[in-house]
Amino acid sequence: MKIFWRGSLVLITAGLLAGANGAEARAKRVGQIPNGGVSGCANCHNSTAGGGPRNTFGQMIETGFLGAAGSAGNVQWGPELAKMDADGDGATNGQELSDPDGLWKSGDADPDDAAVVTLPGDAKSHPPIPVASALEATTWAQVKEAMQELFK
């Protein structure tokens, strides 16, 4: 019986440590993108609580913009990642996170107003489409969406 309890204690402790490491990794990465705290875990994960499958922005970071593989890796935010458009909505990752040129560094104050920040991994979330861009839109869906934005 005593051995059983020792084994259980080891398993529970290991589980708690694994959970703590995961939470630390998530919190760490939220602070490694500009305005990361506005949407928290939802910047990179489908679930707003974090964990589970990553959205297109999370996948982009995972495959090309982590300093190291796994939970130890830090997000390499900069001009290259800022100029890409992970969700294909026409707004760059940098425009969505209010750092279009990718000049923000981890530890800096968040750029711009949090109210203008959108999700770089969700095509339904993006900054308002300027009228000039709406006129250049090539699909009816884009024109319709731009018109809906104008007349909200």
* Residues near Ca ion, by CB under 5 A: 85, 87, 89, 91
CB nearer Ca ion, residue 73 or residue 127? 127
Cβ of residue 67: shortest distance to Ca ion, in angstroms?
23
CB nearer Ca ion, residue 27 or residue 149? 149
CB nearer Ca ion, residue 66 or residue 123? 123
Cβ of residue 94: shortest distance to Ca ion, in angstroms?
9
- Longest distance between any two alpha carbons in the chain, whole Å: 75
**C-alpha triplet 109, 115, 118: angle, nearest 5°:** 90
Tokens representing residue 14 in the block = 């290991």
Residue the block writes with tokens 């294909």: 88
Cβ of residue 4: shortest distance to Ca ion, in angstroms?
53
CA 77 – CA 123 distance, rounded (Å): 20
Residue the block writes with tokens 């861009």: 133
Cβ of residue 86: shortest distance to Ca ion, in angstroms?
6
CB nearer Ca ion, residue 85 or residue 99? 85
What is the per-residue burial (b if ≥16 Cβ within 10 Å, else e) of 69-84? eeeebebebbeebbeb
Tokens representing residue 40 in the block = 């928290």
Cβ of residue 73: shortest distance to Ca ion, in angstroms?
22
CA 119 – CA 133 distance, rounded (Å): 20
CB nearer Ca ion, residue 89 or residue 99? 89
CA 63 – CA 8 distance, rounded (Å): 37
